[in-house]
Amino acid sequence: MKKILVTRRLLRSCEDKAEMSFNAILNSNDELYSQKKIIELSNGCDGILSSLTDKLDSDTINKLPETIKIISNFAVGFGNIDLDAAKKRDIIVTNTPDVLTDATAEIGVLLILGACRRASEGIESARQGGWKWSADYLIGRQLTGTKLGILGMGRIGQKIAKVAKSLGMIIHYHNRSQLSDEKEDGAIYHKNLKDFLKECQVLSICCPASKETIDMINKETIEYLPKGAIVTNVARGDIVDDNALIDALNRRKVYAVGLDVYKNEPNLNPGYLNHKSAFILPHLGSATKETRTAMANLAIDNIDEFFKTGNCVNKVN
């Protein structure tokens, strides 16, 4: 039986599945392992079921035991893993696509609603009690008739577009390539990023983090947005230059933000905490029982498929 290291605690049913399929070293205390400890614990293992919280950079990968042949990441993203270093070691890396589309899209819509309707301020006011109603009390932005720009029209972006369209929003999008008419479903495609951002009264960031998209939303590109735009991010924190976005909030160039992901999370930039108009969540995109179960089971199945066939359909390197 193959031996694997599971770096973070999974739901109990998923850990049972891992133990039935492999000789699995589980993390019962859900300790955040250091890179050094991952290397030590993987000694004698054939594979690693990793998490986004594990920083598997080139130095770490190069020190892994020769027995490691697969790293199955418990996430759709894989920015925590140096793919080139893994490839040079003949270690395949896999992810868990598709299964978290609905849950993440739901959070994406929540971020839009929360930022537009000043939910953070409303929650705080309700907790304090004694608020005084007036005609202009906590007036926010109505979604109906508002232009929503989706940066990255993959599965999650398409699902957000579908829900937003049902709420009366007008959908624009920027993507590496234009979608088919069926997938566009009336959305307006912009090949040029600048032209796209000019239309975004609300921006929803849904694209993966890559060399091309890191800091794509920065000091220069933020200026393309209409004054008073709203920026939301359900993808990856690396896509946004935090200092530039916080500066835009300070200047009221950006009206509000809705964020579920951050650079260096969980240590988000404290500048966001100073803004009542920042609707922020602690990376809840996939946080439903159904989705986390499906993700973990797929991560386990990826390892099983690799050792049975020598390959995996969800390979990313």
Question: Do 148 and 172 touch, CB atoms closer than 8 A?
Answer: yes
Q: What is the DSSP letter of 202?
A: E
CA distances from 190 to 166, 195, 213 (A): 21, 7, 16
Cis peptide before 65 (omega within 30 of 0): no
Entry pTM: 0.91
Give CA–CA dist 316/74, Å, rounded: 13
Question: What local confidence, expressed as pLDDT, does residue 92 receive?
Answer: 97
Least confident of 51-55, 112-116, 208-212: 208-212
Question: Do 45 and 3 touch, CB atoms closer than 8 A?
Answer: yes
Domains of the chain: 3-97+288-309 (3.40.50.720), 101-280 (3.40.50.720)
- The helix/strand/coil state of 264 is coil
Reported in sequence order, the residue ranges of the chain that DSSP labels E, i.e. its strands, are 3-6, 23-25, 47-50, 70-73, 92-94, 147-151, 170-174, 188-189, 202-205, 229-233, 254-259, 278-280
Phi and psi at 285, nearest 5°, equal -45, -50
Predicted confidence (pLDDT) per residue in 68-122, tens digit: 999 999 998 888 999 999 999 999 999 999 999 999 999 999 999 999 999 999 9
Predicted confidence (pLDDT) per residue in 167-198, tens digit: 999 999 999 999 999 999 999 999 999 999 99
Phi and psi at 292, nearest 5°, equal -65, -35
Pair of tokens at residue 222 = 């933020």
Active site residues: 236, 265, 283
